[in-house]
Chains A and B, each alone.
Chain A
Amino acid sequence: MSLWRYLGRRVLLLAPMLVGITLLTFLLSHAVPADPVTAYLGPQASGDPQVIAAFRHRWGLDRPLPEQYGIYLWNLARGDMGVSISTRQPVMVDLKQHLPATIELATAAMLVSLLVSIPLGMLSAVRRDTMLDQLARIGSLIGVSTPIFWLGIVAIVLFYAYLGWAPSPGRLSMEIPPPPPVTGFVVVDAVLARRLDVAADALRHLALPALVLSSYSVGVVTRMMRGSMLEVLGEEYVRTARAKGLATWAVVVRHAARNSLIPVVTVIGLSFGGLLSGAVVTETVFAWPGLGSYAFHSATALDFPAIMGVGLVVATIYILVNLVVDIAYAFVDPRIRVG
């Protein structure tokens, strides 16, 4: 299969996938026993049948399910995700407000984990079975075993309450007015507004939650990198390079590193889902006004339009990230196109 046919097929598969996601989010939020009416109106008003009927009619909850789904799809096609029952704003507006904070956090965490785990995984493989390798192995297992919400609380207690190194939770210090929103990423907006002091403050606020959130993916990527590097180091061309008399570092950097990075590319895509999951608890701990906090608040308030919106956006992001990763993979590794 040629590269372009492969790309075409992957992109074509995207459309039914996205429709499937709308169906799944819709079913999840409608085929459940909990009644959003009582959750929204409270016990007093939900005793009154007339109020309930009016409410159900107002939100279209009295129509048959397939019709509700049809309406939902039609509205979605026009960029209308409905109105959040708890914030009373259009869900689209809410999502636009919350998404950049999460992307900022997840990107920072991803950068941290790549910077730490790629060198660490390589070193661990090259110095296999040494003290360093054992430490890296235990460290990455601790990374995947640590409850992120707990690590966040411990980090706040230690670095904020006791040592005073970290700023208070949130995206900016209280006394600093946020820069005019252009991209929604506070760091970028501050730079655009030529307020480097504000950007520095935003980065200081970003550091601790990003480090905490990265703990899981550091563990995952380090383990993957080590395994991949070990496999490549066993290949014959590496032995040949060594036999030619190349220095160890030259073999590792020039021959092994590039090929061992290939499978790691996919793990980056997959661990992005873990990052989004971790973002929910990280954001609630650090009072980070992102999609995770929004998801949590709407889920506990049974705010179904909001939940559907979050589910849709998160699943779409996840699918798109993995599509990009797979395409990148096909570009760097010609073998993948054969299968």
Chain B
Amino acid sequence: MRLSTPGSAWAERRPVAATAGAASPLRWLPRPVARSPLALVALGLVAAWVVAAFSAPVLAPHLPLAQDIVHRLSPPSRDHWLGTDPLGRDVLSRILYGARLSIPVGAAAVVLAGGLGIALGGAAGFMGGIIDETIMRITDLMLAFPTVILAMVITAALGAGIQNAVLAIMVAWWPSYARLERGLVLAVRQREFVEAARVLGASRLRIALRHVLPATISPIVILGTLDVGHAILTFASLSFLGLGPPPQIPEWGSMIAAGRNYLNQWWIATFPGLAILSLVLAFNVVGDSLRDLLDPRLRRV
């Protein structure tokens, strides 16, 4: 007879829940995300924004650059749902096209910063000694600068533009990834499977790339997911300051900058801001639930 431990009871109940069908479409999600209605709404919102970005040309009622001078600065109406800007361009269409820029830029900045951080932090943790010391002191230095100020100086020096803004976010952000990766490498290096690989005669490079690195990836991916929203926000700040793409390109931060001189036409600045807020908030709620999953200290109480 089978002993009924809490673990086996759970294992037996699971297929029942799956056949019941209530939770089955969401089973691929991590449990805290699948169980929290707030996280599900947020995930849906992120998905909606991604869809909006892909299908902006179909969804947008107007072209993002089309100028309807007769109806410039007109409040939200049936023809222009979210009003028009000083050049008579449709705010809704520009917001939808803006998503095509913000989402990939946020993702690219995080992937680049994470990549650089993994490479440098991994090298520091794996090689140790003077290399470790040098890289970590540089990391400390970079972390001493508030990120927006550092990114602002870098973008200003390289010249305004999308690529340079992404580059600036990458330069400002890699240190936190490097620090995390180094800590993870130091921990994983002690594990038995790494020892086993060494005993079997694997080269240092092979151990680093095939054994240690894969074991450190998942926390980095979580941190990256948490950071996408933050990166979108930083990119919007840079372009609000005039350090992003040129003004005709639909981008949320520069749309807000364009609206700040029209205090009576509140819709020009308000709606792009709501777009940023909704997308970044959705990313943060999803990330927050993921963190609850990973932080065992919060599960204890």
Are A156 and B263 in contact (CB-based, < 8 A)?
Answer: yes
Kindly state whether residue B284 has any CB partner on chain A within 8 Å. yes
Residues of B within 8 A of A227 (CB): 298
Are B149 and A34 in contact (CB-based, < 8 A)?
Answer: no
Residues of B within 8 A of A29 (CB): 153, 157
Kindly state whether residue A240 has any CB partner on chain B within 8 Å. no
CB distance from B30 to the nearest CB of A (A): 18
Residues of A within 8 A of B264 (CB): 161
Bin chain A's interface residue count: 35 or more
Residues of B within 8 A of A278 (CB): 148
Which chain A residue lies CB-closest to B147?
A: A277
Interface string of A21-53 (1 = CB under 8 A from B): 100100011001110000000000000000000
CB distance from A166 to the nearest CB of B (A): 12
Kindly state whether residue A230 has any CB partner on chain B within 8 Å. yes
Candidates A145, A161, A302; contact of B156 at CB < 8 Å = A302
Are A318 and B157 in contact (CB-based, < 8 A)?
Answer: no
CB distance from B100 to the nearest CB of A (A): 19
Are B301 and A147 in contact (CB-based, < 8 A)?
Answer: no
Cα of A147 to Cα of B259 in the assembled complex, Å: 14
Segment at the interface with B among A89-97, A111-119, A136-144: A136-144
Kindly state whether residue A59 has any CB partner on chain B within 8 Å. no
Kindly state whether residue A234 has any CB partner on chain B within 8 Å. yes
Are B236 and A296 in contact (CB-based, < 8 A)?
Answer: no
Candidates A153, A161, A277; contact of B256 at CB < 8 Å = A153
Kindly state whether residue B193 has any CB partner on chain A within 8 Å. no
Are B142 and A280 in contact (CB-based, < 8 A)?
Answer: no
CB distance from A314 to the nearest CB of B (A): 6
Cα of A234 to Cα of B301 in the assembled complex, Å: 6
Within 8 A of A (CB), among B218-245: 229, 233, 236-237, 240-243
CB distance from B284 to the nearest CB of A (A): 5
Are A276 and B149 in contact (CB-based, < 8 A)?
Answer: yes
Residues of A within 8 A of B155 (CB): 299
* Known contacts A144-B284, A145-B281, A161-B263: A34-B301 contact under CB 8 Å: no
Kindly state whether residue B260 has any CB partner on chain A within 8 Å. yes
Q: A-contacting residues of B (Cβ < 8 Å)?
A: 38, 137, 140-142, 144-150, 152-159, 229, 233, 236-237, 240-243, 253, 256-257, 259-260, 263-264, 266, 269-270, 272-273, 276-277, 280-281, 283-285, 288, 297-298, 300-301
Q: B-contacting residues of A (Cβ < 8 Å)?
A: 16-17, 20-21, 24, 28-29, 32-34, 134, 138, 141-142, 144-151, 153-154, 156-157, 160-161, 227, 230-231, 233-234, 273-274, 276-278, 280-281, 284-285, 295-296, 299-300, 302, 307, 310-311, 314-315, 318-319
- 27 sampled A-B residue pairs with Cβ under 8 A: A28-B150, A33-B157, A33-B158, A34-B157, A141-B285, A142-B277, A145-B281, A146-B277, A146-B280, A147-B253, A149-B240, A150-B269, A150-B277, A151-B273, A154-B273, A161-B264, A231-B297, A234-B300, A276-B146, A277-B146, A278-B148, A280-B148, A281-B148, A296-B152, A302-B157, A311-B145, A311-B149
Known: A24-B145, A145-B284, A150-B272. 8 other contacts (CB 8 A): A17-B140, A28-B150, A33-B159, A146-B277, A147-B277, A276-B146, A310-B149, A314-B145
